[in-house]
Amino acid sequence: MNEAAPQEFQEWSVDQWFNHEGQLRLADLRGRVVALEAFQMLCPGCVTHGLPQAQRILETFSKDEVAVVGLHTVFEHHDAMQPHSLKAFLYEYRIRFPVGVDRPSEKGIPETMERFKLRGTPSLLLFDRQGILKAHHFGAVSDMQIGAEISKLLSEEND
């Protein structure tokens, strides 16, 4: 599912990172296309489809051109998916790209999920070189489609 995306820059909201030292902001990735894989560690569709696809994005494109980032955005079973559990999950599934923990809010829906209006997991968000959200997929989408969309963003002017 591809939905109309807002046209202004919005930053994600993350305090804690795995596979990355210090903070990592979307703004820091300016100049590269960014693929953000939003997932929950106990979501079967994320384990079967979303995360392996993120891994294939990493293997297909140059790291200088495309940044792959995970977002652990927990909106259910909070007790079962705390950061210490996520750490074990990332180790066992050999996920080596940066993964941020979406900042919890009192409402149960974490902040980035709310800000980008995610409908659930897995969701794949593609940002252009200026950090503007250009594609927003909820659920399964084919590798060929994602390859085409990323390539289209890469071919746009880098100004």
Q: Any bridge partners for residue 133, and if so which?
A: 127
- Where does this chain touch a copy of itself (CB under 8 A) — which range of 18-26, 87-95, 99-107, 124-132? 87-95
Query: What would the two tokens of residue 34 be?
Result: 């960014």
The residues, ordered by sequence, that sit 6+ positions from 155 with a Cβ below 8 Å of its Cβ are none
92 near a copy of itself, rule: CB under 8 A = yes
Q: Which is nearer to a copy of itself, 81 or 113 (CB)?
A: 81
135 contributes a contact to a copy of itself by CB under 8 A:
no
Q: Which amino acid belongs to residue 94?
A: R
Contact between 40 and 73 under an 8 Å Cβ cutoff? The reply is: yes
Supply angle C-alpha 82, 37, 158, rounded to 5: 135
- Among the listed ranges 17-25, 54-62, 96-104, 125-133, the one in contact with a copy of itself (CB under 8 A) is 54-62
Instruction: Catalog residues that contact a copy of itself under the rule CB under 8 A.
Output: 42-44, 47, 56-57, 60-61, 77, 79-81, 84-85, 87-89, 91-93, 142-152, 154-155
